[in-house]
Amino acid sequence: MPEMGSTIIRVLEIALLMAFVISIIYDSTRFVKREYVICSEKVLKKSRIVLLSDLHNKCFGHKNEDLIKAVEEASPDFILVAGDMVTAAEKKTKYEEIVEFLGCLASKYPVFYANGNHEYRIKTYKEAYDDLYEEYKEKLIKCGIRLLENDKVYLSDINVEICGLEIEKKYYKRFRQTPMEEGYIDRLFGKNTDGAFRLLIAHNPDYFKEYVKWGADLTVAGHVHGGVMRLPWLGGVISPMVRFFPKYDGGLFMEDDSVMVVSRGLGMHTIPVRIFNPGELIVIDLCGK
């Protein structure tokens, strides 16, 4: 009997290992679509949003044709990009395929893009990246993409103000979270449109309480990659900032009357695997009450 027990344990170990390997291969090459409905009396009419985040130069099909098809099938009124579409890697950073992909989408839909920590790194580390960010930015703008670098745009037909937040490197520190300075977001954005529905694109979800305090009605975020590996009942295991079981790992979160949707992202970086955690394209139906 002891031999039988050890054999069963060994078989289970092998089966578990195989499940991990299969998941890494499978989930690292696919994405799923998840949908949310968010309603507010501030919103004048229904709008459909597609949220993209953390692509990290990954391609789904030739020139991202699979991802483009999924966006087209969703038929959005506009697209939000929550950062880290490219990966910052000294002397290896490439953006051409991302520009082509986003340019294709921008030819059909309005696209609003806020930077993540990787774009911010390329932008601020001139000694490593030279003028790469300026080149990337120029090409995005030429494609008709609205890049929101602590900037905002008001959509009067639906009474929605889209704000693109870009925060400093210190707010992406590994292991421990840096407290956000009091009034930090107010200083970046200034006065907001009175009575408008505030839609904040904020790459890092960890500061949700600060976003709520600032006045965000809806925050869309990414960055955490779904926790890299997901476990039943426990959720995401580790974030790119090397924090275990991150609180905001993916999905819908609420604080007072404010909502945050966190994308699990599409690509990989830092910990370059996805385990029981495929990439994610998010569709949000924003409607009035």
Q: How far is CA 104 from CA 65, 77, 100, 141, 143, in A?
A: 10, 15, 6, 13, 8
95-108: pLDDT as tens digits: 999 999 999 999 99
- State the CATH number of the domain containing residue 144: 3.60.21
Residue 135's pLDDT band, with cuts at 50, 70 and 90, is very high
Which pLDDT does position 231 carry in this prediction?
81
pLDDT higher than threshold 90 for residue 151: yes
45-55: pLDDT as tens digits: 999 999 999 99
Q: What is the mean pLDDT of the chain?
A: 90
Compute how many other C-beta atoms are within 10 angstroms of the C-beta atom of residue 59: 15
Q: Considering its fold, how many domains does the chain have in total?
A: 1
Give the residue numbers spanning the domain of 263: 2-287
pLDDT higher than threshold 80 for residue 253: yes
54-74: pLDDT as tens digits: 999 999 999 999 999 999 999
Strand 230-231 relative to strand 235-236: parallel, antiparallel, unpaired? antiparallel
Which pLDDT does position 4 carry in this prediction?
56
256-270: pLDDT as tens digits: 999 999 999 999 887
The pair phi, psi for residue 92, each rounded to 5°, is: -125, -5
Which pLDDT does position 169 carry in this prediction?
92
